[in-house]
Each structure stands twice: as structure tokens, then as C-alpha cells.
């Protein structure tokens, strides 16, 4: 077992759901160190140098901080590791060196935990705002003049001005600054007699990067994103077109945050940022080295896939209703599993649309034979999901959407493994009753990206289906 003290990870695998995995059942020494480091501690850089580590609060995501084969990577991680090198120049003995200790926390808790002494730096692509500046101190920006720009699919008709957004549907993350600025633009359209923008707000559990992937697949036509993020991802997602000349907002600044009583730390960070601005380091981060083998989502409402859905719709509606589920979410799960292809067989023996093993379907908790039959296959998948929900996810504190996230994770990785991750989340001071930005962080550490991507992709496909059917209904109503 290889301990990574930067994040408190234990590099281990759990090859079967029924096996005992000490890395999940008990706290490793690295996990214990992480818990100790999260205990409140204050002081400036001189005290951090005495204790030999600086705690960096980061938000788990797909750009700023993520895991690649169990190791921390990402925009903020790579940049701050360069800061660690500069901080330790001239320190030859390993015992004298200061280590950066990265602690993933939910984005909306970053500044609170920073002020409470649970970290020393908050690094999560934070935009400097007057409200935030009243709570914390910001370094000088490491990215200045940030633009929020329109991003389209490559096949989308050319746009020459922001007025081309009039009457269009734009999908952006709920609660983001993109929503605020699109609303301001739409109000200007209303006053000038132009049709308003149809702002679709995606579940905040999905990131801007998730929405960019949906645009790349063709499932969504338009979104808005920070230009530097969209540009980086366009190098990987070849169907993205970043419309840099179409900015809904300009002049933003992104910086790191510290507690107000840390002038030495601010001075040290500012000296580093002055020498390592955007372009000299950040612009050279190659995300392709982490995501080159990633399986990107495809368009679930393409003509070919719509034809399959038409043939199966009645079955999905029937069994979703029987087990009190959203039929489009069940379709999204089937699409993630097999592309709605009943002929699909996995190397492990999983069968059909819902990619179940016959042994799972035949178990008394499901009790359905011959899942080579399409109807039996969809029925078995829905019934197994209902079993996961009723047996493992009965906590009244969880809302339905969160229960579905955990059920999907359990369907993919096994319910016992997810149960152990929830136990570890509690020990690691994460919320065991929240998947996104909490238990999914541990899934990425302990299992890898498969289960994390599985849950995220189903959420993305469900949004794509709902947007498609809503658009169809609106079009029918207009006629």
C-alpha cells in the first residue's frame, strides 16, 4: 500500500465487492494524518514552516483538482506544486522542506473552512468578488481579465454578435455567475424589443466542464464558460467552438484566498504569482495527459439513438412507474450502460441494455430469469435499482436525487463498497449523505474515475433527454 501524504490517500484497489479492503474499512495512517490536519490551526507562514506543512483547501472537479490513477492532479494542484518547489529552494534536507497538503472539500464550504482554521489557502478557481473579499484576503490574481464567453457545438450556425443569443436556449450551471450575466443580457434584449434568452439552469452538482462535454457531444447547443477553461477543454473536445469575441462578462480576476491575518503567506504567494502568471505556467498545463483515454459522453438524442428509444420507451415507462422512478433517468442509465443496445455483452458477462449479470437478476432480491429478453432486462435493471434504494438508502435525511446518485454508484461499484466509502467519508469529515463533492471524492481516490464518471454521465444524459422532450413539447404547443 502506497501512502500519498499530500491527500491522505491509500493507493489500493478493491477488486470485488465482497472482499475485505482495509483501505476502506479502517482509517489508514495517511487518513489519520488528514484528519489531524483538518483540526483548526491558525498562524502565518512562519508557523506553517515550523510545522512543515501548509494546508490547501481545494474543490474536487475535472479541471482544478481531480485524481488520475489515484494520484492528485489538476489546474490548482500543478500550479501550487510549483509554489512548493519555490518555497523549498535552498532547503536541502527533506526534514527541512515544507509540504503542501491538499484537502478536498465542497466548493460552498471553502471559505468557511478557511476562516475556521481548517486550511491555510483556498484554491479552487475563485473569482474575486466584493462579498468574498469581506471574508478573506485574496492574493494578486493569477488569471486576470477573465471573460465569460459563449461556447457552441462546431456544427452550430455561426454567431457574429451577442444579439444572436436572442431567443436561444443556453444551458449553464445553476447559481453560477453565468446565470446572472445572461439574465442581465436578456433584460437588455427585452428593453430593445429582442426575444429574451431561454436560460436553462443545470443541476449545480454538475460542473461547467460537464456541460462543455454535453455541448461537445451535440446534446446541447450552447453554454457559457470562463474562456481559459473552455479553451483548455476545447483541445480535448474537438467539437467545441469557443466564441472568444462573444463575452457576456469581462474583467474578472481569479486568485487564491487566505485568512486576513496571514500577511507573510500572502506576500510569499504574491511573489510566486508575479513570476508564474497565466501563459508562463497555467497555459502550458496539458490535460490530455490525464484524459487522453477518457470515454467521453455521446449524444443520446442523435437520430439513431432516438430510434432505439422509441422502440423501448413503453418498457422504460412501465417499469419506472412500477418502481417509482423517473423513466428518463432509467433511460439515461441504460444509455450509459449500453447505448440502449440489447445485444451488448461485456467481458465480465453483463447482458443487454442494463448490463446486469444473470446471477444478479436471478437473485431472490430481483428474481427475473432470462435477461437476454429485452423486457426482462429492463425490468431486472429497474427492480435491482429499487432493491438498492430500499435496502441501502433509507436515510430520511437524503432527498430523492441524492439517493439516486448513491443507487447508481452502488449499481456500478457494488453496494458494500459504497457503504464502506460512506463510513470513511464520516471519518474524513466529509458528508456521507452527499455523493457529489463528498463521497465521490473518496470513490475517485479508492476506486478510480469509473464510478465517478458513471454517476456524472447518467446525470448528464438525463438532462439531455429532459431538454429534448421539453423542446419537443414546446414545439408541439407552439403549433
CA separation for the pair 244, 230 (Å, rounded): 10
Classify 121 as helix, strand or coil: strand
Q: Counting beta carbons within 10 angstroms of the beta carbon of residue 210, is it exposed (0 to 12), middle (13 to 18) or buried (19 or more)?
A: buried
The packing angle between helices 303-322 and 327-338, to 10°, is 130
DSSP 414: -
Largest CA distance in the chain: 76
CA separation for the pair 443, 405 (Å, rounded): 13
CA separation for the pair 316, 330 (Å, rounded): 7
Give every CB contact of residue 418 below 8 A, 6+ residues apart in sequence: 392, 406, 409, 410, 439, 443
The set of cell numbers assigned to 184 is: 442581465
CA separation for the pair 85, 281 (Å, rounded): 14
Give every CB contact of residue 112 below 8 A, 6+ residues apart in sequence: none
Classify 204 as helix, strand or coil: coil
**Has 337 been annotated as catalytic?**
yes
User: Are the C-beta atoms of 346 and 358 separated by less than 8 Å?
Assistant: no
The CA radius of gyration of the chain, in Å to the nearest whole number, is 24
The packing angle between helices 29-37 and 415-427, to 10°, is 40
CA separation for the pair 118, 259 (Å, rounded): 11
Neighbours of 19 (CB within 10 A): 12
Q: Report the DSSP beta bridge partners of residue 172.
A: 201
Classify 246 as helix, strand or coil: strand
The set of cell numbers assigned to 121 is: 489557502
Neighbours of 435 (CB within 10 A): 31
Active-site residue identified among 76, 209, 227, 337: 337
Catalytic residues: 337
Amino acid at each position: 500500500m502506497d501512502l500519498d501524504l499530500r491527500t491522505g490517500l491509500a493507493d489500493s484497489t478493491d477488486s470485488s465487492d465482497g472482499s475485505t479492503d482495509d483501505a476502506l474499512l479502517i482509517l489508514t495512517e495517511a487518513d489519520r494524518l488528514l484528519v489531524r490536519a483538518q483540526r483548526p490551526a491558525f498562524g502565518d507562514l512562519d508557523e506553517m514552516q515550523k510545522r512543515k506543512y501548509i494546508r490547501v483547501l481545494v474543490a474536487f472537479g475535472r479541471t482544478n483538482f481531480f485524481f488520475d490513477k489515484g494520484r492528485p492532479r489538476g489546474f490548482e494542484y500543478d500550479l501550487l506544486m510549483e509554489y512548493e518547489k519555490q518555497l523549498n529552494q535552498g532547503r536541502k534536507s527533506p526534514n527541512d522542506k515544507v509540504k503542501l497538503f491538499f484537502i478536498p472539500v465542497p466548493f460552498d464550504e471553502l471559505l468557511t473552512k478557511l476562516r475556521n482554521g481548517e486550511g491555510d489557502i483556498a484554491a479552487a478557481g475563485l473569482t474575486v468578488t466584493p462579498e468574498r473579499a469581506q471574508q478573506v484576503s485574496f492574493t494578486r490574481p493569477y488569471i486576470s481579465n477573465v471573460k465569460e464567453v459563449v461556447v457552441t457545438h462546431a456544427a452550430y450556425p455561426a454567431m457574429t454578435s451577442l444579439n444572436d443569443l436572442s431567443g436561444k436556449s443556453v444551458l449553464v450551471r445553476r447559481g453560477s455567475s453565468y446565470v446572472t450575466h445572461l439574465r442581465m443580457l436578456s433584460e437588455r434584449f427585452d428593453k430593445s424589443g429582442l426575444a429574451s434568452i431561454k436560460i436553462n439552469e443545470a443541476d449545480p452538482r454538475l460542473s461547467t466542464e460537464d456541460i462543455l462535454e454535453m455541448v461537445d457531444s451535440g446534446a446541447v447547443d450552447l453554454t457559457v464558460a470562463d474562456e481559459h477553461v473552455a479553451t483548455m477543454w476545447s483541445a480535448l473536445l474537438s467539437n467545441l467552438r469557443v466564441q472568444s469575441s462573444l463575452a457576456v462578462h469581462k474583467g474578472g480576476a481569479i486568485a487564491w484566498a487566505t485568512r486576513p491575518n496571514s500577511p507573510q503567506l500572502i506576500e510569499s504567494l504574491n511573489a510566486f504569482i508575479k513570476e508564474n502568471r497565466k501563459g508562463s505556467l497555467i497555459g502550458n498545463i496539458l490535460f490530455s495527459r490525464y484524459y487522453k483515454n477518457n470515454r467521453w459522453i455521446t449524444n443520446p438524442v442523435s437520430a439513431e439513438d432516438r430510434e432505439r428509444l422509441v422502440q423501448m420507451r413503453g418498457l422504460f415507462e412501465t417499469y419506472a412507474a412500477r418502481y417509482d422512478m423517473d423513466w428518463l433517468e432509467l433511460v439515461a442509465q441504460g444509455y450509459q450502460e449500453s447505448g440502449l443496445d440489447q445485444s451488448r455483452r461485456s467481458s465480465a458477462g453483463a447482458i443487454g441494455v442494463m448490463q446486469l449479470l444473470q446471477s444478479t437478476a436471478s437473485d431472490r432480491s430481483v428474481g427475473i430469469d432470462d435477461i437476454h429478453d429485452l423486457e426482462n432486462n429492463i425490468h431486472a435493471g429497474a427492480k435491482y435499482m429499487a432493491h438498492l434504494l430500499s435496502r441501502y438508502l433509507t436515510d430520511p435525511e437524503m432527498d430523492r436525487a441524492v439517493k439516486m446518485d448513491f443507487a447508481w454508484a452502488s449499481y456500478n461499484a457494488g453496494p458494500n463498497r459504497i457503504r464502506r466509502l460512506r463510513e470513511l467519508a464520516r471519518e474524513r469529515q466529509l458528508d456521507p449523505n452527499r455523493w457529489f463533492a463528498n463521497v465521490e471524492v473518496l470513490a475517485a481516490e479508492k476506486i478510480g474515475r469509473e464510478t465517478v464518471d458513471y454517476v456524472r454521465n447518467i446525470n448528464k444524459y438525463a438532462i439531455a433527454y429532459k431538454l429534448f422532450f421539453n423542446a419537443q413539447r414546446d414545439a408541439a404547443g407552439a403549433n
